[in-house]
């Protein structure tokens, strides 16, 4: 081996342990995200939507299955947390559009079926409930 090649091999051998630690260090360090905090107003509205869904007598259609409202609420909370962390949701309208309308995995639309109401797209149901929240804010 020539001197230059030997120097390069030694440098690579010195750097190899550091290169092997890179995946581990990224797992240990806090992830850089695009997360933005929801405003207090947006948080109150979205929490209100989730609460209304979870305590309703409605059923929620997702990916071919009807779920009880409480299960739907739990699913929407997980989805909200994920999308907020990504920085994709900053308002109640964002929540409805990006979390409450369709499955992120299958792209299939969500539906809501409530007693004494026609089945409707979830976006319509959430938008109606958001309007009610805004018309009667809790002091």
- Averages of pLDDT over runs of 10 residues in the chain (139 residues) are 56 46 43 66 96 97 97 97 95 97 95 96 98 86
Contacting residues for 64 by C-beta, under 8 A, at least 6 apart: 108
Tokens for 31? Answer: 């992830």
How confident is the model at residue 12, as a pLDDT?
46
The model's pTM: 0.73
Q: For residue 98, how many other CB atoms are within 10 A of its CB?
A: 16
Task: Reduce the DSSP state of residue 65 to 3 states and report it.
Answer: strand
Integer Cα distance of 97 and 127 in angstroms: 10
How confident is the model at residue 37, as a pLDDT?
81
In Å, how far from its chain's centre is CA 129?
20
Q: Minimal CA–CA distance to 38: which of 84, 72, 104, 106?
A: 84
How confident is the model at residue 18, as a pLDDT?
42
């Amino acid at each position: 081996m020539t001197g230059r090649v030997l120097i390069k091999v030694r440098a690579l051998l010195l750097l190899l342990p550091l290169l092997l630690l890179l995946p581990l260090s990224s797992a240990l360090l806090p992830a850089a995200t695009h997360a933005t905090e929801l405003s207090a107003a947006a948080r109150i509205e979205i929490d209100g939507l989730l609460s209304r869904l979870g305590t309703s007598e409605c059923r929620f259609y997702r990916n071919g299955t009807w779920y009880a409202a409480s299960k739907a609420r739990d699913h929407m909370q997980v989805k909200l947390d994920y999308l907020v962390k990504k920085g994709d949701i900053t308002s109640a309208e964002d929540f409805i559009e990006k979390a409450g309308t369709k499955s992120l995995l299958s792209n299939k639309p969500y539906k809501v079926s409530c007693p004494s109401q026609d089945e409707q797209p979830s976006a319509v149901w959430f938008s109606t409930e958001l309007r009610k929240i805004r018309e009667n804010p809790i002091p």
